[in-house]
Amino acid sequence: MASLRKFPFSFGVGTDICRIPRIYSLLTKNRGVNFVRRVLTQEEINAVRASSKVLEPVFHEFKPSSNDSNGERDRQYHLAILDAARFMAGRWAAKEAVIKACNIYRVTFHDITITYEHQLAKSLRNKGSSSHPMAEQSPSPSDSQEIEKPRQTSPPVAVIKGHGTGDMYGRLSISHDGDYAVATCVTFWGEPDDDVSGVD
């Protein structure tokens, strides 16, 4: 058998798929807020709530109105929860993809911050050489304006807490189709070994 060459650099790839109706079911129960907090870091929750209302129906208790005879308020609530479920299914799939891409490390959901490329660049500029560029507690009103409609401005990225070597950066792709959200992550681990000899 001919010798095999190693890739010229070390990287990880991970992918995951998540059923949106499963997340919808979780969000419509009393455990909805706990589920969001299990998946997202507090920094992520702050950033999302500052830039979008997608998670608001989860954080605010829904009480049917006696004046809503045709059920319009109930319908609007369930549509809003469906939007939140799509968002959270994408985040779940993305974080699972990151964990698979970093399988040589022990990574948890709260070791991963998902943001957008332009927000990461802005944080790095503001913090200089800070070890964790997304460590700010919550965006200011001017930040909120800048991260509005993030899907149209830059691709999603993952910042993975370092394990003695500093934080890692992962490229993400998140897609939704029908009942499913799917995500793929690519991470770069470092320089290749000096030994690039083939394997017989």
Predicted TM-score (pTM) of this structure: 0.75
66: containing domain? 10-190
Tell me the CATH number at 159.
3.90.470.20
Q: What angle do CA 17, 169, 90 make, to 5 degrees?
A: 25
In a domain, 27, yes or no: yes
Kindly report the three-state secondary structure assignment for every residue of 134-183: CCCCCCCHHHHHHCCCHHHCCCEEEEECCCCCCCEEEEEEEEEECCEEEE
- CB 165 within 8 Å of CB 187: no
In a domain, 196, yes or no: no
In a domain, 79, yes or no: yes
In a domain, 2, yes or no: no
Looking at residue 15, what is its pLDDT? 97
In a domain, 4, yes or no: no
Structural domain count of the chain: 1
Locate 6 and state its tokens.
């190693």
pLDDT in tens, the chain (200 residues): 667 776 666 788 999 999 999 999 999 887 899 999 999 999 999 999 998 999 999 998 766 566 666 678 888 989 999 999 999 999 999 999 999 998 877 889 999 999 988 777 777 777 664 444 433 333 333 333 333 344 446 889 999 987 656 788 899 999 999 999 999 999 886 543 444 334 33
Looking at residue 198, what is its pLDDT? 41
In a domain, 98, yes or no: yes
In a domain, 133, yes or no: yes
In a domain, 184, yes or no: yes
